[in-house]
Amino acid sequence: MKSHYQVLIIGGGTAGIMTAAQLLRKNRKLDIAIIEPSETHYYQPAWTLVGAGAYDFKKTAKPMADVMPSGADWIKDKAKAFQPEQNTVSTESSGDITYDFLVVAPGLVMEPSMIKGLPEAFEKGVACSNYIDPDFTWETIRNFKGGNALFTQPTTPIKCGGAPQKIAYLAADYFGKNGLKNKTNVIFATPGSVIFGVKEIRETLMKVIDRYGIHFKPFYAPKEIDVENKIVHFSHTAPEENRCIINEDNDLGEVMIGDVDIQVPFDMLHLAPPQAAPKFVRDSVLANASGWLDVDHHSMQHNKFGNIFGLGDVAALPTAKTGAAVRKQVPVVVDNILKLMEHKSADNKSYNGYSSCPLVTGYGKMTLAEFDYNNNFIPDPKLKRILVFNSDKEHWRLWMLKKYGLPNLYWNKMMKGKNV
């Protein structure tokens, strides 16, 4: 077992595999290893569709061995600590491994315990989540008979910020098609102030919310699940002058106690659990004050250690944590590492915060949000040529892209290090 590599990558997810594959395409002789304990690699963007019964969960999984780039060593182990001054990563069972360059891309972890009662709600099947078990979400939607269907998300950063609302739209569409519309209150509660940060997309989504009659609740931060009584307690995050008065006899059975405790009863609950960087990252010198990997927003180079880069979900970048963001981050990281190898400076600072969120708005309908750090809507010109319309509107062609085009692009291009 080797204990030193030119490039050591932590994480066999989208970011880690793509980085290794693109580096090896540029130079087959590079000495690269990927530390990754999992046996299975998942295409997680399809889990939204799995949760709505529109995609087979098994098709989202491939053996990790099949996606590992040939030419890279796979260290089947967990990273547990960094010693960046010594260019060393400690692992659970393979000892210390040293490197010339380190790429930190372990993704993030689910932390349900950050909301009181949430672990028990998952355990007892009172709550479902596409982030954890999308097949159970579909079972929950299929067996729903009416009442309050509550969809919400935490105050922490999360993978694909649009995912918690996509399943609300699909569920609302499903309930409507199955005669449950008049027996159901679909509620979407978010700690945020708006449904989506990009103006063009926000306008489309407000029409979608209106079409389904969804009760949209901004400024609602979930803080506790009362599992026995099936009630979610929310904090109201709005400035006081913006708080609406809640009447206790409303349709939803919503109750406000004092200024900040809002109680919403539910018959079905779907939520994105709170999420955080893995513990070995957030407890390390590489993390910022919020526990995310402290990297430059444009070059992904670590702000303190020049031979370390971080990208993907673990990185402290003020943009959405998506595979689309990774697709634009990887070439910048690869270029900068190759420059450093030639004793040049890592001066590629071209990442502009690009991310995209395919917002499924119903069966056979989708809008595609593409945006940068400033929430500018920046649709891909190539895609526009194919679609012949702006992707901020709902369209069946975008649904086809989500269901067939993007998985194909992922497995056959992104995972193989090809330019996309």
Residue 326, amino acid? V
Give CB contacts under 8 A, 24+ apart, made by 237-241: 237/155, 237/191, 238/193
237 HSE (CA, 13 A, CB side): 16
Q: Of 209, 357, 398, 406, which residue is the catalytic one?
A: 357
Residues 73, 70: Cα–Cα separation, whole Å: 8
Residues 384, 391: Cα–Cα separation, whole Å: 7
Q: What is the DSSP string of 271-315?
A: EPPPEE--HHHHTSTTB-TTSSB-B-TTT-BBSS-TTEEE-GGGB
Enter the tokens of residue 291. 């526990």
Which helix H or strand E contains 166, and what residues bound it? helix 163-177
244 as an active site residue: the answer is: no
Q: Of 160, 168, 281, 337, which residue is the catalytic one?
A: 160
160 as an active site residue: the answer is: yes
CB neighbour burial string for 260-285, b if at least 16 within 10 angstroms, e if fewer: eebbbbbebbbbbbbbbbbebbbebe
Which residues are tagged catalytic?
160, 357
